[in-house]
């Protein structure tokens, strides 16, 4: 095969829509069966991966410098300069050290979040069916090269620009590229020069457009940046990064708090200057330091990290999160509307009941020796195939019949070889039967399976315990009774018969073969529920989430499966509705009655949108599953669209917020659990940061009003540095609390300050400030030095170390909004424990290490003074624990009650 020598220049300017398909193949040096692997690898190295150009990535140095664009940081730098000019060298040095360390931590947070998101993007790379080495294989779309021949079908997203080689009823929706909302019919014939507009190039397909119908093969003519979409993407490299709604909400909260803190800082500066006790420089530095310390500037980064790490955890549990806000929204889910087949069930038909010799037997206890003809009929009147690795291939119903005998240790290949097929009558929808003629002990024998009523109409004898006798009206009535009994269990019933033939018919037809049959028996089969789903549904209900089943199956089948899973109560006939009945309801009527229904049977994909909107009209957060092209509108309309990773089309995956790698309902519940954990951890971090900041503001405000000595800028900044960074991040990765799935959903309009968090922030911040001021008062009232200046220095040091350590102690309180800290789980998070220890040592060192006393303006404390500080920390825990006891006793005022 000749290879392409270049990917740019003339090749890129070629108008492939004007060239016949055969000539395109020749120009691109390929074949209708694609490239060899070696040639594809060579082209991949020359052309690069088939990916769109990424936005500009900042280097570590650029990220570091970007940290200094924040207004508060710039003000701090000015303050350091003023302090240096005023002769306060140590203060200026400490301010600079704090600013640099803050920048380092900022880069750390940003890089960690970017790496987490990048890891997710790698996992979400789509795949494509490609001809390689003369056979079809599935590859990552990134590996496509010019000259590859790909296969497309309804639901696929085109992975590159292609020239179609074959099409069959192909329609492609190109709205994202051309603005034309109607899907375009595609063809293979060459076009004239007048088809220069993309929308007129009906023999071309373009990257990121959607196949809505039909099938096709196409040859890749452009990849990555050279595609039509790639050219547009190149223009967007300098676009600003998007901000999620959750990040916007947190940023807004930070701005509001910043405004309040700045106002308080100005007030403290004014009051301090009014008292005349502190110098202009000291009060200016204090006000600036307070503003910097009290504003939660790291909160958006902590939220992003927590969300990104949460998504990675979900990936390990087979739930790929495509959009970060979906993590948080998952935790608020109140309705989960799930497809039945493959999600609630195994998507694998299974024989459950067998009727033979006039008795009904469970498949699990069936005696294989009961009827040899039944075994032959189920195995031989069957078009399933054995795969190379002994897998069963073919129609799910027919593979289920084979699997029944595999479970009985029957060698399928040996049975087929012993009774070779001579002729067959394929199934058709009119007669609803399928028959095969085989050689059975040197005699041609016809084995038939099919619908009970159709087969009984052709039966005149019955096999009963090895004896063939004429069938009576009572016998037929008994068979029909068994059929009804199985059908009421939502089982799909098949009947079996056989007929020894005198000779091989010259022209086997239904009239010549499927007559005068001998009835053998019945089987009842069903697509059974996944074994883990029933427990997942019970957990969802315990969490106040309402599961719904949506299926194209008949109502009886849907009700039976729903009752087995616990979605529908036994005997609840009104809890299910069909698509036909839905059509009789107006949107207003559906909204008024939607709470009645748990099961939707015989519905079309378009019904899903109505179901979503009906529940959303009741302010419910709705998750909806889907796998087909027509499911995309419902996935978009839902608060959480859940696509299927195995059976789902690329269109449905692209429309979804979450993609299930295993198509399993239990995975949705696991993702909801993780979403609740993520929300709770962000809430804990917010409570910790804001209560600590409030404590700092209150302490300085009261000290200023009381005309006491106030904490110095270096002390405030150091407390902020060691308490606000690692402990807050560690709270973001706390394991889920034991009762996370025993609480009702938080609701559509809940915020991070709901569920009693806002109240906790206020009283805990006041408590921190009060305890710090109390320690300061104790230091002044019970001094160990007679010298007043030393006594004030000791008291200020005690207040400083108390304010810092009390925040670290309080971090343990924040591990649970309402649960006790006195559990083994409180010490289970090693990352959290390490963060607290490191932060505590960094604080204590500024007091305990003599060489640092001068830099941080601290004094050496004796045992009694440390005991007072320790008592303040214990009081912080004791008071918060006492409040939690009250909150647990009267939960209605502070937390959501679990729904029954």
pLDDT at 324: 66
pLDDT at 657: 84
- Please indicate, yes or no, whether residues 541 and 481 belong to a single structural domain of this protein: no
- Summary count for the chain: helices (H), strands (E): 33, 26
Between 328 and 663, name the one with better pLDDT: 663
- Please indicate, yes or no, whether residues 219 and 286 belong to a single structural domain of this protein: no
- Please indicate, yes or no, whether residues 235 and 277 belong to a single structural domain of this protein: no
- Please indicate, yes or no, whether residues 329 and 376 belong to a single structural domain of this protein: no
- Least confident segment among 34-48, 109-123, 305-319, 696-710: 109-123
pLDDT above 90 (res 797): yes
Would you state the structure tokens that stand for residue 50, as one six-digit string?
A: 């088939």
Residue 641 sits in a domain whose CATH number is 3.40.50.1000
Q: What is the mean pLDDT of the chain?
A: 83
pLDDT at 247: 56
Using DSSP bridges, classify how beta strands 359-362 and 658-660 pair: parallel, antiparallel or unpaired: unpaired
Query: 816 pLDDT band (50/70/90 cuts)?
Result: confident
Q: Where a domain ends, among 212, 241, 270?
A: 241
- Please indicate, yes or no, whether residues 615 and 730 belong to a single structural domain of this protein: no
pLDDT above 70 (res 292): no
pLDDT above 70 (res 378): yes
Q: How many domains does the chain have?
A: 4
Contact status, residue 644 vs residue 342, Cβ threshold 8 Å: yes
- Please indicate, yes or no, whether residues 410 and 509 belong to a single structural domain of this protein: yes
Residue whose structure tokens are 């300017």: 13
- Please indicate, yes or no, whether residues 148 and 207 belong to a single structural domain of this protein: yes
- Residue 339 appears among annotated catalytic residues: yes
Three-class SS state of 499: strand
Query: 516 pLDDT band (50/70/90 cuts)?
Result: very high
- Least confident segment among 275-279, 431-435, 438-442, 707-711: 275-279
Best mean pLDDT range from 270-279, 311-320, 448-457, 691-700: 448-457
Q: What angle do CA 501, 506, 512 make, to 5 degrees?
A: 55
pLDDT above 50 (res 10): no
Strands, DSSP E only, in 121-259? 127-132, 135-140, 149-153, 161-173, 184-185, 204-205, 210-222
Residue 646 lies in a domain: yes
pLDDT above 70 (res 250): no
Between 877 and 791, name the one with better pLDDT: 877
Q: Supply the range of the domain harboring residue 747.
A: 245-313+672-893
Tell me what percent of the residues of the chain surpass a pLDDT of 90. Answer: 36
Three-class SS state of 607: helix
Q: Residues 72-99: pLDDT tens digits?
A: 566 656 656 765 665 556 656 766 776 6
Query: 295 pLDDT band (50/70/90 cuts)?
Result: low
Backbone angles phi, psi at 431, to 5 degrees: -90, -15
User: What is the mean pLDDT of the segment spanning 517-524?
Assistant: 96
pLDDT above 60 (res 63): yes
Give the DSSP letter string of 707-757: T-----HHHHHHHHHHHHSHHHHHHTTPPPPTTTTSS----TT--TTTTTH
Q: Where a domain ends, among 609, 639, 663?
A: 663
- Please indicate, yes or no, whether residues 42 and 181 belong to a single structural domain of this protein: yes
- Please indicate, yes or no, whether residues 300 and 337 belong to a single structural domain of this protein: no
Q: Residues 737-765: pLDDT tens digits?
A: 888 888 888 876 677 777 788 889 999 99
Tell me what percent of the residues of the chain surpass a pLDDT of 70. Answer: 83
- Indicate which residue of 91, 282, 339, 663 is catalytic: 339
Query: 278 pLDDT band (50/70/90 cuts)?
Result: low
Query: 232 pLDDT band (50/70/90 cuts)?
Result: low
Q: Where a domain ends, among 193, 209, 241?
A: 241
Residue 353 lies in a domain: no
pLDDT above 90 (res 351): yes
User: What is the mean pLDDT of the segment spanning 164-172?
Assistant: 89
- Please indicate, yes or no, whether residues 119 and 144 belong to a single structural domain of this protein: yes
Between 113 and 672, name the one with better pLDDT: 672
- Least confident segment among 65-69, 74-78, 706-710, 880-884: 74-78
Three-class SS state of 131: strand
């Amino acid at each position: 095969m000749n290879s392409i020598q270049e990917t740019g220049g003339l090749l890129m300017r070629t108008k492939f829509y004007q060239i016949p398909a055969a000539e395109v193949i020749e120009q691109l040096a390929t074949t209708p069966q694609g490239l060899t692997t070696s040639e594809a690898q060579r082209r991949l190295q020359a052309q690069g991966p088939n990916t769109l150009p990424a936005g500009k990535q900042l280097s570590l140095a650029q990220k570091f410098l970007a940290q200094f664009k924040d207004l508060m940081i710039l003000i701090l730098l000015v303050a350091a300069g003023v302090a240096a000019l005023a002769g306060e060298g140590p203060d200026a040095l400490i301010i600079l050290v704090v600013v640099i360390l803050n920048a380092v931590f900022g880069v750390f947070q940003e890089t960690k979040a970017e790496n987490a998101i990048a890891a997710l993007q790698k996992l979400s790379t789509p795949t494509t069916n490609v001809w390689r080495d003369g056979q079809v294989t599935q590859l990552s779309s990134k590996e496509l090269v010019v000259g590859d021949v790909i296969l497309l079908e309804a639901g696929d997203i085109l992975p590159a620009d292609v020239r179609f080689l074959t099409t069959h009823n192909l329609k492609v929706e190109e709205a994202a590229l051309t603005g034309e909302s109607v899907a375009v019919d595609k063809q293979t014939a060459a076009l004239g020069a007048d088809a220069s507009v993309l929308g007129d190039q009906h023999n071309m397909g373009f990257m990121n457009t959607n196949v809505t119908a039909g099938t096709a093969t196409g040859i890749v003519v452009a990849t990555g940046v050279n595609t039509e979409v790639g050219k547009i993407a190149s223009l967007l490299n300098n676009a600003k990064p998007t901000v999620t709604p959750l990040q916007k909400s947190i940023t807004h909260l930070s701005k509001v708090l910043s405004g309040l803190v700045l106002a308080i800082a100005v007030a403290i500066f004014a009051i301090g200057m009014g008292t005349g006790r502190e110098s202009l420089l000291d009060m200016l530095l204090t006000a600036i330091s307070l503003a910097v310390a009290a504003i939660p500037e790291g909160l958006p980064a902590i939220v992003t990290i927590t969300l990104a790490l949460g998504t990675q955890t979900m990936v390990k549990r087979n739930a790929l999160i495509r959009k970060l806000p979906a993590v948080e929204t998952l935790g608020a889910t109140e309705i989960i509307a799930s497809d039945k087949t493959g999600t609630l069930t195994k998507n694998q038909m299974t024989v459950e009941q067998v009727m033979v010799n006039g008795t009904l037997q469970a498949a699990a206890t069936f005696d294989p020796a009961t009827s040899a003809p039944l075994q032959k009929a189920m195995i031989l009147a069957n078009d399933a195939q054995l795969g190379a690795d002994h897998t069963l291939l073919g129609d799910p119903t027919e593979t289920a019949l084979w699997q029944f005998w595999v479970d009985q240790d029957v060698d399928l290949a040996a049975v087929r070889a012993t009774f070779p097929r001579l002729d067959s009558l394929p199934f058709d929808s009119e007669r609803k039967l399928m028959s095969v003629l085989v050689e059975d002990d040197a005699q041609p024998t016809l084995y038939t399976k099919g619908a009970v009523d159709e087969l009984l109409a052709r039966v005149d004898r019955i096999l009963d315990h090895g004896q063939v006798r004429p069938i009576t009206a009572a016998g037929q009535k008994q068979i029909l009774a068994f059929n009804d009994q199985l059908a009421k269990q939502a089982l799909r019933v098949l009947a079996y018969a056989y007929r020894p033939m005198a000779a091989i018919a010259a022209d086997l037809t239904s009239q010549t073969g499927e007559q005068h049959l001998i009835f053998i028996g019945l089987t009842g089969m069903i697509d059974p529920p996944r074994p883990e789903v029933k427990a997942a549904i019970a957990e969802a209900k315990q969490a106040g989430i309402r599961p719904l089943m949506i299926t194209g199956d008949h109502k009886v089948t849907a009700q039976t499966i729903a009752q087995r899973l616990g979605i529908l109560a036994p005997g609840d006939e009104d809890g299910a509705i069909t698509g036909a009945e839905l059509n009789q309801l107006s949107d207003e009527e559906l909204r008024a009655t939607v709470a009645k229904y748990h099961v939707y049977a015989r519905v079309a994909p378009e019904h899903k949108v109505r179901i979503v909107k009906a529940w959303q009209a009741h302010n419910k957060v709705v998750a909806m599953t889907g796998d087909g092209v027509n499911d995309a509108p419902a996935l978009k309309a839902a608060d959480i669209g859940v696509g299927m990773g195995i059976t789902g089309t690329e269109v449905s995956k692209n429309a979804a917020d979450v993609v299930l790698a295993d198509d399993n309902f239990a995975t949705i519940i696991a993702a909801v659990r993780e979403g609740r954990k993520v929300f709770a951890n962000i809430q804990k971090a917010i409570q910790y940061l804001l209560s600590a900041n409030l404590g700092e503001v209150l302490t300085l405000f009261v000290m200023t009003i009381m005309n006491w000595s106030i904490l110095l800028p270096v002390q405030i900044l150091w407390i902020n540095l060691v308490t606000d960074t690692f402990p807050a991040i560690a709270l973001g990765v706390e394991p889920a609390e034991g009762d996370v799935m025993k609480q009702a959903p938080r609701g559509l309009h809940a915020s991070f300050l709901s569920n009693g968090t806002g109240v906790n922030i206020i009283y805990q911040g006041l408590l921190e400030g009060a305890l710090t001021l109390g320690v300061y008062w104790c230091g002044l009232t019970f001094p160990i030095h007679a010298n007043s200046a030393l006594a004030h220095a000791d008291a200020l040091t005690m207040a400083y170390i108390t304010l810092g350590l009390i925040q670290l102690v309080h971090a343990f309180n924040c591990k649970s909004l309402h649960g006790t800290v006195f559990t083994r789980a409180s010490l289970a998070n090693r990352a959290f424990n390490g963060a607290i220890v490191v932060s505590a040592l960094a604080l204590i060192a500024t007091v305990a290490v003599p060489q640092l006393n001068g830099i941080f303006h601290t004094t050496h404390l004796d045992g009694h003074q440390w005991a007072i500080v320790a008592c303040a920390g214990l009081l912080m825990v004791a008071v918060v624990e006492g409040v939690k006891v009250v909150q647990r006793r009267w939960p209605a005022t502070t937390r959501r009650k679990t729904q029954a």
